[in-house]
Amino acid sequence: MSPEFSADPVRNRARHELLTKLAASTANPAAAEMARELLAGNVTPRGILSTNLYADVLAASTPGFAEWYGSLSEGEKDAQAEAGRNALTQLAAPEAKPAPPRRSDAVDDEEDFSEVDWLDG
């Protein structure tokens, strides 16, 4: 069972998705490791913030974000907040069920083995 990062299931799923993407990233191995540890439940977000374990990872990205956010006008900040709310709303929408798999028709000169029971002797 994976850890919960929010009591809100929409936010929890969004955080899991973001951490999963970060864990798969090769651009920043330390950040990927941190995400994998969070997903595995080996460390908590509070634990990361209250220790220096991943301080370098956090310190590297925080100034860039703060500078970017600080450069936004109030209208742009409102637009970013709205985009975040819209993303959460999309995540909350029931997921569409994928279409059932379809058998492709075999080419006329190829034998169709799809109905063969390979366990029969």
Average pLDDT of the chain to the nearest whole number? 79
Residue 17 lies in a domain: yes
What pLDDT does 27 receive? 87
pLDDT tens for residues 42-100? 988 888 888 888 888 888 878 888 888 899 999 999 999 998 888 777 776 666 555 66
CA distance 18 to 70: 23
When pLDDT is averaged across residues 28-45 and rounded to a whole number, the result is 91
- DSSP line for 57-108: HHHHHHHHHHHHHHTS-HHHHHHHHHHHHHHHHHHHSPPPPPPPP-PPPPPT
What pLDDT does 117 receive? 54
Residue 24 lies in a domain: yes
What pLDDT does 33 receive? 93
Residue 114 lies in a domain: no
Residue 70 lies in a domain: yes
Amino acid at 8: D
Residue 32 lies in a domain: yes
Say what the pTM is: 0.56
pLDDT band, very low/low/confident/very high, at 121 (cuts 50, 70, 90):
very low
Residue 78 lies in a domain: yes
Dihedral sign for Cα atoms in the order 72, 75, 81, 85? negative
Residue 46 lies in a domain: yes
Host domain of residue 20: 9-92
What pLDDT does 90 receive? 77
pLDDT tens for residues 12-28? 888 888 899 999 988 88
Cα 3 → chain centroid: 14
Q: What's the domain count of the chain? A: 1
When pLDDT is averaged across residues 102-110 and rounded to a whole number, the result is 57
What pLDDT does 8 receive? 81
Residue 3 lies in a domain: no
